[in-house]
Amino acid sequence: MKIQSIGPKIYTNGIDPLADVFICYDIMPNVDFSSEMSLDRSRLEYFGKNTIIEMFSTQGLNYKDYFFVFDTYLNLEGFDQNSFFYPACLLTTAQYYLSYAPDHVIDFANKKNSVNCPMHKHRSQRILASGWFANNPIDGLLYTQFWSKDDHDMIMHLDELLQLGGLIDWTHSYGPASKLLEQHTIGTPTYLTNSNDPNKSYWRPKNFFRDLSNMFYSTVFSTVLEPVFWEHGSGLTEKYVNAIYGGTIPVVNGYRVYDSLGQLGFDTFSDIIDTSSQYELDPVLRIWNMLEKNKNIFSHWEEIISDAQVQKRIVSNLDLMRSPEKIFKNSLASTNKLSLQRATSIKDSLKTLKFPYADLINVSD
């Protein structure tokens, strides 16, 4: 059996049509949106865009003839029957956080603000979130934003996205203003990465506990802006882990993300927050409504966090995050039998590639 690894930095190298299995690391490359097309054509081109399918199509191949293992995606439209969604990115990150802070506890007495929203890289979902918060001032918002509110390119991109989602038109005769939050940074000047941290395993928890943790510790809700946007899929990275270690209720972007979180065993707090935006096919409205439909909840943070049962549920999510093996067992339990059979057949290869807990992969009778 031939296995090929693909990922954002090597998608352009093409694929081997003789491979049987493709290990897909990370998520799709960031898609450069072009506003030169009409709005209707842009929606057809970008909504649900899947560069993995496009890569196979370019070489005259049908992606459905191959088997895929995803290490970050929890779901991805079109791959339900020929893929194994292995939450390896989440599991490995959870291991690192547990090792870095084995005695971590949540102090609910520190909760003095409503919601946090960390925004680092210039991505469409973060520009939209900045635009939403700029149009809807929230008392007790704590955030980071690495670009200026006057950045012309960012404002133009926001304007294009708002038009694409039908929230405004080119005349600006209705809808929100194309404006951004003020630039705001915290912590140390140098953001750690896996290339400049001597201990590559710990750069993510170091960034959290060194620079970001107080923003999470003092808020009730976290705006979790994962790097998925155009595609109809969802994935989890350290951004979700930060929300759990921060003792918050995560408001997460991604198509069907809350369904996938529930399969992993996490409490999605769907009785408190509105999670319906997860089914929105329009990526602009998915982000906008994720915040818009929870606007009133953000103002009731004191009442919500004072509930002992809510605190208990937040702690339960932390307990689960500190038990990555249990997360993986929950994931296996929700995997269809055919995908599990294919994954079992390449278990030794997954172990060689250091996928966590690969020994647990097995087909039950």
Q: What is the pLDDT of residues 79-136, one digit of tens each?
A: 998 999 999 999 999 999 999 999 999 999 999 999 999 998 889 999 999 999 999 9
Spatial separation of the C-alpha atoms in residues 89 and 44, rounded to whole Å: 30
Residue 303: enclosing H or E segment and its boundaries?
helix 301-305
Domains and CATH numbers, the chain: 3-89+335-360 (no CATH), 97-323 (3.40.50)
Name the average pLDDT for the chain: 92
Q: Place 189 in a pLDDT band, splitting at 50, 70 and 90.
A: very low
Nearest CA to 312 out of 66, 108, 116, 133 is that of: 108
Mean pLDDT on 62-85: 95
Query: Tell me, what DSSP letter sits at residue 222?
Result: E
Sheet with 83-85: list strands edge to edge.
Answer: 3-6, 21-24, 67-70, 83-85
DSSP letter assigned to residue 191: P
Distance CA 195, CA 211 (A): 18
| pLDDT level of residue 183 (50, 70, 90 thresholds) | very high
Summarize pLDDT for 325-363 with one digit per residue, the tens.
999 999 999 999 999 999 999 999 999 999 999 999 998
Question: Token pair of 62, please?
Answer: 């049908």
| Strand ranges for the chain from DSSP E | 3-6, 21-24, 67-70, 73-76, 83-85, 113-119, 141-145, 219-224, 233-235, 249-252
Is 228 in contact with 44 (CB distance < 8 Å)? no
* Tens-digit pLDDT profile for residues 16-66: 899 999 999 998 877 777 777 889 989 999 999 998 898 899 899 999 999
| pLDDT reading at 194 higher than 60 | no
DSSP secondary structure of 242-259: HHHHTT-EEEE-STTHHH
Res 197 pLDDT > 80: no
Note the pLDDT of residue 33: 74
CA dist 277 and 113 (Å) reads 24
In tens, the pLDDT along 198-238 reads 555 688 899 999 989 999 999 999 999 999 999 999 999 99
pLDDT at 7: 80
| Mean pLDDT score, 249-270 | 98
Q: State the pLDDT at residue 121.
A: 85
The answer to whether residue 190 scores a pLDDT higher than 80 is no
The DSSP annotation for 94-131 comes to HHHHHHH-TT----GGG--EEEEEEE-S--HHHHHHHH
The per-residue pLDDT for 192 is 45
pLDDT at 263 over 90: yes
